[in-house]
Amino acid sequence: MLRTIPHADVTELRLDRPPANALSPELLAALRDAVRGAPGDGARALILSGAEGMFSAGLDVPLFLELDRDGVRTAWITLFETMRALACSPVPVVAALTGHAPAGGCVLALCCDWRVQAEGRFKLGLNEVQVGVRPPGPILAAAERVVGRRQAERMLCTAELFGVDEATRIGLVDEVVPPGEVVARALEWARRSLALPPRTLESTRALCSAELARSFDRMEGEVLERFLDEWFGEECQGALRGLVERLAAKRG
């Protein structure tokens, strides 16, 4: 589900769960552990990449719908832990967006320091509301950190998926390059960051991610349980099951 590709002192973590790199709890846990462990294995920077044409389609909704409350709680906690691992990594992390990145795919990208997007008719955004899911606080905080409050509200409340040009205009995407050059350009960015004093860079990145880090601490206890109440509510479950039915109809 996750390939580790060394580029000397830069490690590429490539999502590899065909056909759409849907985020299962197992994939999220593997990514979390890989991000946490990479600096200890000698990585001085990380690249998060996906398949050509599809970075990640977001959460594996059919699988999530099979989970009971304890399972869903654990799965969302794992997502938050993965977000924190990326956002608070002691080494820089660049997202190589090799294609579409809706919903959870966009969330992972927002937690990286830089986003390189493939040219093409790809879509990015936070469309959770469209499928009945109220984005929890850490997702809003991640979006605010990248695009600012107003554009974050637009992303969450309209559930709009942006084309590459609009994503670049609002700051969701930092660079756009031909599809075959995404990882190479991400590697260039990572290597450029290595020229900076490492301890100073680490402490400065921690300062910049501090508010996002605090949002994870707030997503506990009663706050998390209220979110789960909404997840198992009639509106959310109905919208999610409708999505699964539409996807199955397309495949059929």
Contact between 104 and 75 (Cβ < 8 Å): no
Q: Give the residue from 159, 166, 163, 154 showing the smallest Cα distance to 123.
A: 163
Kindly state the percentage of the chain with pLDDT values over 70: 100
| Residue 252 predicted with pLDDT over 80 | no
Residue 170 lies in a domain: yes
Domain membership flag for residue 248: no
Tell me the mean pLDDT in the region 118-127: 98
Complete edge-to-edge strand list for the sheet that includes strand 124-125:
53-54, 99-102, 124-125
Mean pLDDT calculated for residue range 96-110: 98
- Domain holding 70, by residue range, is 2-193
Please name the helix (run of DSSP H) or strand (run of DSSP E) that holds residue 54, with its range, or none: strand 53-54
Average pLDDT in the 166-182 region? 98
Mean predicted lDDT score pLDDT of the chain: 96
pLDDT of residue 217: 95
Checking if the pLDDT of 251 tops 90, the result is: no
Per-residue confidence (pLDDT) for residue 165, from 0 to 100: 97
CB within 8 Å of 62: residues ≥ 6 apart: 244, 247
Between CA 62 and CA 74 the distance in angstroms is 16
Average pLDDT of span 195-212: 95
Q: Is the pLDDT of residue 247 over 90?
A: no
Q: Is the pLDDT of residue 58 over 80?
A: yes
Q: What is the pTM of this model?
A: 0.96
For residue 6, pLDDT over 80 is answered with yes
Q: Tell me, what DSSP letter sits at residue 59? A: B
Grade residue 250 by pLDDT with cuts at 50, 70 and 90.
confident
Q: What is the band of 85 on the pLDDT scale with cuts at 50, 70, 90?
A: very high
Give the CATH number of the domain where residue 114 resides: 3.90.226.10
pLDDT of residue 241: 95
In total, the chain counts a number of residues equal to 252
Mean pLDDT computed over 45-51: 98
| pLDDT at residue 248, as a whole number | 86
Mean pLDDT, residues 2-15:
97
Considering its fold, how many domains does the chain have in total? 1
